[in-house]
Amino acid sequence: MEKAITPKVYWKKFLGVDLFKVNWFFKYWLYKLFGFCLPKLKDQQDYWSRRGQVYMDEIMESGYLERESFFQDMLIDSLKTLQFESFFEAGCGFGWNIRRVKEEFPDKRVGGVDFSITQLGNAKKYVDKLNISVSQGDICRIPLKDNAYDIGFSLGVFMNIHPDKIRLAVEQMVRVCKKYIIHLEYDEDNTTKELREKRAFKTNIVSHDYKKIYESLGKRVVEFKTYKDFGEAYHQHAQSINLPLERWEGFEGPEKYIWIVVEI
């Protein structure tokens, strides 16, 4: 049997330190010492095609998903209140969310799209035998027909889209979805000063005003929540977790997301 790729094998090192951490600290100190931020990445496909090889193992073995499951539960609770026959996730990664949706709603048609071939390779194993359709594609050019699914969803994915492309991505979601679009994404206008400072130098994370974009397209925002609405519930959830968090950068709390539901 072929040995699975691990983070230690994948990530290159400089003086014994993972190269991606060197890159992170370089950008961090450039910002802290000189107040300088490098331009936001315009394309992350190469990064995720490589990191996708190990992302599933990396995230599942760190205690991260146990904390992130709070937001997944928000999605499931919302879906229980909506009428739908089909659901897809834009940027489905290795399939964590779409597997949960299929398990909770086995009679619904569920699918996912991601541009990382390596992520999709893991997804096909993770959602094996669950009759979930996953396909390769860019969110700015979603390879699905018009009105292909009743509900479209993203979690921490659209925040990786460059400002020049975000409206196109939103238009693609509107084209593909028939009833609702649900996002859990980053909005610096609805977070804390501390998190804005922590993310300011990161070239892969971008804040977008989703409410403004959807309303400019004539779509109605039927629900909008921030960490001020669900933060206390999140902290109660976190206190119930006994598994230690083993991520070098820690875990950003509920202030990293806004919750928005758009009616098509």
Q: How many CB atoms lie within 10 A of CB 201?
A: 19
- Classify residue 76 as left (phi > 0), alpha (psi -120 to 50) or beta: alpha
| CATH for 220 | 3.40.50.150
Mean pLDDT of 84-102: 97
Q: What is the pLDDT of residue 6?
A: 38
- Classify residue 154 as left (phi > 0), alpha (psi -120 to 50) or beta: beta
Mean pLDDT of 183-188: 98
Residue 248 belongs to a domain: yes
Q: What is the pLDDT of residue 2?
A: 32
More reliable by pLDDT, 193 or 51: 193
Q: What is the pLDDT of residue 12?
A: 57
Spell out the alpha helix ranges (H) of the chain: 7-10, 19-34, 45-51, 55-60, 64-79, 96-104, 117-126, 166-176, 193-199, 210-216, 227-239
Predicted confidence band of residue 263 (pLDDT cuts 50, 70, 90): very high
Residue 194 belongs to a domain: yes
Mean pLDDT of 144-160: 97
Strand pairing partners for 79? none
Tens digit of each residue's pLDDT (9 = 90 or more) over 115-137: 999 999 999 999 999 999 999 99
- DSSP count for the chain of H helices, then E strands: 11, 9
Mean pLDDT of 165-186: 98
Mean pLDDT of 58-81: 94
Range of the domain at 109: 41-263
Run of H or E residues at 87: strand 86-90
Residue 167 belongs to a domain: yes
| pLDDT of 41 above 80 | yes
Residue 216 belongs to a domain: yes
Please state the pTM of the whole predicted model: 0.89
Give the Cα separation of 133 and 68 in Å (integer). 23
More reliable by pLDDT, 52 or 45: 45
Using an 8 Å Cβ cutoff, are 203 and 44 in contact? no
Query: How many distinct structural domains can be found in the chain?
Result: 1
Give the Cα separation of 238 and 195 in Å (integer). 18
Residue 253 belongs to a domain: yes
Residue 166 belongs to a domain: yes
| pLDDT of 218 above 70 | yes
Residue 24 belongs to a domain: no
